[in-house]
Structure 1
Amino acid sequence: MKADAIKLDGKAAGSVDLNDAIFGLEPRKDILHRMVRWQRANAQQGTHSTLGRSEVSYSTKKIYRQKGTGGARHGSRGAPIFRSGGIYKGPTPRSHGHELTKKFRKLGLKHALSAKKAAGELVVIDSIDVKDAKTSALAKMVGSLGWKRALIIDGADVNADFAQAARNIATLDVLPSQGANVYDILKSDTLVLTKAGVEALEARLS
């Protein structure tokens, strides 16, 4: 399929051919959902921890005699039944990540790109070369183009001057093609691909 390309100043920059097998799929919510869950699960630190009965700081001495008190036969103040006692089967540090095959992850990225194209939220630009790395100048360009929360994906390497200028713009994220992922693509309001980014993504996903 054909897609119009623009320059950073908004002027036309010809057109680019998009691979239908990558940008023309019917987006499937179940695949995108599984991909987002996989990414977010892998991002969890899993450092949650509680103290068990053997870890709380209490004496191991029997708290009162076995018989004659009229109460239950307790032996330790660190038991879960007592206030400040150990937690029974509480959370411990662990990994929340799970596996997804490379084939499925590649398919998920294709559906994410197709979802943006189908929603009219995909923009192709000629390049992100800027004359000077000025944040104020780039912010004006982005504002004039109407990009509210944009993700820009460049080729194998991101233009250094552009990355420096975009560093302090909160609504702009810049990634190389190898860093393209489903969660960031779906989270953005506008997905911006450079021509080099399109070529790199098609080479990666073909």
Structure 2
Amino acid sequence: MKVQVLNLDGSTGNGEVELSDDVFGLAPRADILHRVVTWQLEKRRGIARATRERSDVARTGKKFGNQKGGGTARHGDRAAPVFIGGGKAHGARRREFNPSLNKKVRALGLKMALSAKAQNGLIVVDTLDVTDAKTKTLAGQFANAGWGKKVLVIDGEAVNETFARAAGNLVGVNVLPALGANVYDILKHDTLVLTRAAVEKLEARFAAPAGVAE
């Protein structure tokens, strides 16, 4: 699949880039994308802390009063929920959100997300080099390009510092290195902008090792 290289302002750039069909040419499947996005969001959740119940409270278990004649209810345990410092009745239980997902499914989900954007919403630029780190200038370029309100820009090994500084205050524009590419961020943005270096990194990420069959 060949894609025309553009500039940051949307104008035609130099040459074309050949995208691998193994990475950018798959038919997206909603079930795979849903599994990967659910796994990502679950991984972000923290541990739900438990409350202390009767068995967790350090109170004496000795019967502290007579069965009769005390003029009060016949309690036998200070850890009962009715007492201050007692355990909570029917308290929250500890929950850990650490789901597992097969690496092959995760890789397939990322390739399908890239393929979905290749069908509608993928832009390839040569580099992210800008003359100065001015947010106003970059905002004008993006407005001329007409790439939508939510744009995800992915660079190569590391993000261009000048571009990242200029894009830092642009609402809806996010910048990631190729290593940080993920299904959730790709799908939630209107447009995916890749540099040539990002394309090379992503394709190398999914390349089969030498001597290993697909």
Structure 1 length-normalised TM: 0.85
Identity across matched positions, percent: 51
Greater CA deviation, 46-55 or 123-132? 46-55
**Given the alignment of the two structures, is residue 199 of structure 1 paired with residue 200 of structure 2, yes or no?**
yes
TM-aligned CA deviation for residue 34 of structure 1: 1.0
Q: Please name the residue that 1:115 is paired with.
A: 116
Q: Which amino acid aligns with 1:86?
A: K
| One-letter code aligned to 2:137 | A
Instruction: Name the structure 1 match of 2:8.
Output: 8
Give matches, 1:55-204, under 5 Å.
55=56, 62=63, 65-66=66-67, 74-76=75-77, 78-80=79-81, 85-88=87-90, 90-92=92-94, 94-118=95-119, 120-146=120-146, 147-204=148-205
Give deviations 1:51-103, integer Å, cap 9, x for gaps.
2224568776657654589x9864346435789851435222x5311222322
SS at match of 1:124: strand
4+ residue segments displaced more than 6 Å: 81-84
Give the aligned residue type for 1:142: F
Q: Is the 8 A contact 1:53 1:88 kept in 2?
A: no
Deviates more, 1:16-25 or 1:97-106: 97-106
Q: Is the 2:152–2:185 contact (alpha carbons within 8 Å) kept by the matching residues of 1?
A: yes
CA distance in 2, matches of 1:78, 1:9: 69
2:157·2:178 contact (CA, 8 Å) conserved in 1? yes
Q: Is the CA contact (8 Å cut-off) linking 2:52 and 2:91 kept in structure 1? A: no
Unmatched runs of 5 consecutive residues or more in structure 2: 208-214
What is the distance in 2 between the residues matched to 1:187 and 1:64?
63
CA distance change for structure 1 residues 145 and 76 in 2, over 3 Å: closer, same or farther?
Answer: farther
> Is the alpha carbon distance of 1:4 and 1:51 closer, same or farther for their aligned partners in structure 2, counting shifts above 3 Å?
same
Query: How far, CA to CA, are the matches of 1:187 and 1:122 in structure 2?
Result: 13
SS, match of residue 191 in structure 1:
strand
Q: Which 5+ residue runs of structure 1 have no aligned equivalent? A: none
Deviation at 1:20?
Answer: 1.0
Q: Distance in 2 between matches of 1:122 and 1:82?
A: 63
Change in 2 beyond 3 A, CA 1:198/1:126: same
Distance apart, 1:39 and its partner CA: 0.9
**Structure-2 separation of matches of 1:20 and 1:109:** 14
> Secondary structure in 2 aligned to 1:49?
coil
Three-state SS of the structure 2 residue aligned to 1:201 is helix
Structure 1 position 18 matched with structure 2 position 19: yes
